[in-house]
């Protein structure tokens, strides 16, 4: 029979698992004008969960300190290395110069399902505004684009949910390849 874990038992379980499965590779996330603080806070929680190496908030993306980001993100903005850039194009260009493969999480004609990505040591995912997505200027800088397949009537999921799916996949599968 399975026994739920709480308190100290839960902390020990997760600590032991992390020791046996240390994260490999570098994983970055660029938020291009993600405008809702709830989504930004959720991104910080996702970033903490996948041990994101860096997060770059760009353009109109709200930044900490922000009470909604802190509350929704459960103060994870204190644990995740983050910075701000006025222009996403500058952030993406810098990541490319550092050797990152920069991939847009966007519905475009050449996008492939996220699970078909090839393994790399350094991957940066770019997500865009909740209504307008990643701009053409930033898409032109990206190596490729991925999407989360939708089987229902909706065309997409919330930006932080899509990012969680892709970043978890990358951390647990692609970036664990040795």
Does any domain span residue 6?
Answer: no
Residue 131: C-alpha distances to residues 58, 69, 77, 147, 157 (Å): 16, 19, 24, 16, 12
Does residue 146 register a pLDDT over 90?
yes
Could you say which DSSP state residue 14 is in? Answer: H
Work out whether strand 26-32 and strand 122-127 pair parallel, antiparallel, or are unpaired.
parallel
Does a structural domain hold residue 113? yes
Q: Is 80 exceeded by the pLDDT of residue 79?
A: yes
Q: How many domains does the chain fold into? A: 1
| Cα–Cα distance, 178 to 172 (Å, whole number) | 12
pLDDT at residue 177 greater than cutoff 80: no
Highest-pLDDT range among 18-22, 95-99, 118-122:
95-99
Nearest to 77 by CA among 57, 91, 102: 57
Q: What backbone phi and psi angles, to 5 degrees, belong to 35? A: -90, -20
Q: Does position 7 have pLDDT exceeding 70, yes or no?
A: yes
Q: How confident is the model at residue 120 (pLDDT cuts 50, 70, 90)?
A: confident
* pLDDT grade for 178, boundaries at 50, 70 and 90: very low
Q: Is residue 16 part of a domain?
A: no
Q: Can you list the alpha helix ranges (DSSP code H) found in the chain?
A: 7-20, 37-49, 67-72, 88-97, 136-141, 159-172
Are 41 and 68 in contact by the 8 Å Cβ rule? The answer is: yes
Domain that holds residue 156: 23-176
Does 114 have pLDDT greater than 50?
yes
> Is 30 part of any domain?
yes
- Tell which residue, 55, 56, 53, has the closest CA to residue 22: 53
**Helix 37-49 / helix 159-172 crossing angle, nearest 10 deg:** 10
On whether residue 5 sits in a domain, the answer given is no
SS3 17: helix
Residue 102 belongs to a domain with what CATH number? 3.40.1280.10
Residue 140 or 175, more confident: 140
- Does 9 map to a domain? no
């Amino acid at each position: 029979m399975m026994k739920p874990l709480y308190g100290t038992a839960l902390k020990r379980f997760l600590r032991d698992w992390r020791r046996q499965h240390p994260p490999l590779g570098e994983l970055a996330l660029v938020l291009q004008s993600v405008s809702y603080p709830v989504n930004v806070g959720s991104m910080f929680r996702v970033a903490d969960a996948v041990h994101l190496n860096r997060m770059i908030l760009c353009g109109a993306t709200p930044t900490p300190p922000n009470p909604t980001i802190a509350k929704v993100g459960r103060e994870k903005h204190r644990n995740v290395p983050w910075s701000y850039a006025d222009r996403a194009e500058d952030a993406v260009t810098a990541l490319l110069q550092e050797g990152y493969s920069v991939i847009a999480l966007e519905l475009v004609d050449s996008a492939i399902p996220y699970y078909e990505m090839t393994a790399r040591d350094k991957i940066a995912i770019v997500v865009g505004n909740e209504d307008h997505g990643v701009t053409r200027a930033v898409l032109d800088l990206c190596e490729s684009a991925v999407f989360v397949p939708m089987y229902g009537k909706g065309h997409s999921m919330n930006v932080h949910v899509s990012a969680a799916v892709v970043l978890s996949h990358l951390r647990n599968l692609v970036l664990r390849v040795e």
